[in-house]
Amino acid sequence: MNNPAPHVSVLLREVIDILSPKDGGIYVDGTFGAGGYSRAILEAADCTVYGIDRDPVAIAFGQKMAAEFDGRLVMLEGCYADMQELLADKGVSAVDGVALDIGVSSMQIDEADRGFSFMRDGPLDMRMSGAGRTAADVVNEESEAELAKIIFVYGEERRSRAIARVVVERRELSPFTSTVELAEAVASVVRPTGKGIHPATRTFQALRIVVNDELGQLVKGLAASERLLTPGGRLAVVSFHSLEDRRVKNFLSARSEGRARPSRHLPVNDEGPAPTFKHIKKGTIKAKADELEINRRSRSARLRGAIRTEAPAWTEAAA
Ligand SMILES: C[S@@+](CC[C@H](N)C(=O)[O-])C[C@H]1O[C@@H](n2cnc3c(N)ncnc32)[C@H](O)[C@@H]1O
């Protein structure tokens, strides 16, 4: 492994403000990464943090960091969607705060062998956990129609059909194995934009989301947080594109109105369960000028925060 640049946490101050760590509290950092949030939580109060990550490299990093905190940082390898079960194994059934910072870390992007980057040649992999189907499996095995759908829905890419066509043509000659092969195929049918965004950006995003079931994880993770948080407990979620932010927004809007609204064009249903969250601030919190200047990733970051009420968690059916 070469030496990737350390991940710089996004919206760190703002996330800690939302969580307001307190002495004796129990916090979940569901996307540990390089541990930036965990470290700040542990330094803000005499509390315990459970650091979850599905990436074994992040877990190994966290285990070294844990030595600094005298038992107050506990690392758990797995998906944050399963946080309730992961914590139950440690005898924990309620927590005071949950932080989620969705997506990939800069260490994952910078490590060519992980296959997340179209800028560095590496195996077309993209699995955060190293298990399951790779991006190459998706690209080489899915039908042209399914590929077009994946790239359109999860990449919000208008040229999805042209991309799917060229992918299927080229894989018949030889299956895709590397990131650069795929990036070149995409670039052959997508014109670069004036904003300096690589033509393969949206296609790579789509594959990453599918390979890691990122949106499914988010929806399950939000519901698991609702079940785990004690009254007054705090939730902070940072997301990086509209597909994710929309899910966080819809979850928190429904849960704070306390009424199931089947569509925004239909009247709310007054029979619904009681609100389980209160918004800390309506809308999203974005990076301020000082952070934007030093961290490019912060440009697309959106933070939403909420406080858990005393109402029981909604059943899956009410979600
Ligand atoms: C953006 S980084 C987090 C950075 C972290 N907040 C920091 O300050 O260092 C996202 C991390 O979450 C992990 N991750 C993404 N989705 C996950 C999931 N569903 N379950 C567990 N970990 C996940 C990734 O492996 C990655 O290490």
Give average pLDDT by consecutive 10-residue segment, the chain, 319 residues.
Answer: 69 98 98 98 98 97 97 98 98 98 91 91 96 97 98 97 98 97 97 84 96 97 98 98 95 85 57 90 94 92 98 77
Residues 130-211: name the CATH superfamily.
Putative methyltransferase TM0872, insert domain (1.10.150.170)
Distances (CA, A) of 9 to 31, 196, 291, 295: 11, 24, 10, 9
pLDDT, residue 193, reads: 80
- Considering only the C-alpha atoms of the chain, give the largest distance between any 2 of them, rounded to a whole number of Å: 61
Tokens representing residue 318 in the block: 């009410």
Report the C-alpha gap between 282 and 164 in whole angstroms. 39
Domain extents for the chain?
Answer: 12-107+214-318, 130-211
Name the residue with tokens 């330094």.
43
Task: Identify the pLDDT of residue 186.
Answer: 98
Please name which of 232, 236, 252 lies closest in space to residue 311, comparing C-alpha atoms: 232
Give the residue ranges of DSSP H helices in the chain.
12-19, 36-44, 56-66, 83-88, 106-110, 135-141, 144-155, 160-173, 179-187, 201-211, 214-228, 242-257, 289-294
Which residue among 7, 11, 43, 105 has the greatest number of ligand 1 atoms within 8 angstroms of its CB, and so is best to mutate?
105
* CA 290 – CA 278 distance, rounded (Å): 29
Structure confidence at residue 6 (pLDDT)? 75
**Which letter does DSSP use for residue 113 in this model?**
G
Closest atom of ligand 1 relative to the 217 alpha carbon = 19
CA of 30 to the centre of ligand 1 (A): 7
**Token pair in block for residue 77:** 């390898």
Listed in sequence order, the residues at least 6 apart from 160 whose beta carbon sits closer than 8 Å to its beta carbon are 147, 148, 149, 151, 152
- Ligand 1 center from residue 4 Cα (angstroms): 16
* Residues contacting ligand 1 via CB (< 6 Å): 7, 9, 31, 33-37, 52-55, 58, 79-81, 101, 103-105, 128, 217
The closest residue, in CA terms, to atom 7 on ligand 1 is: 36
Using the mean position of ligand 1's atoms as its centre, give its distance from the Cα of residue 160 in Å: 28
12-107+214-318 CATH pick, 3.30.2010.10, 3.40.50.150, 3.40.50.261, 3.40.1260.10? 3.40.50.150
pLDDT at position 54 is 97
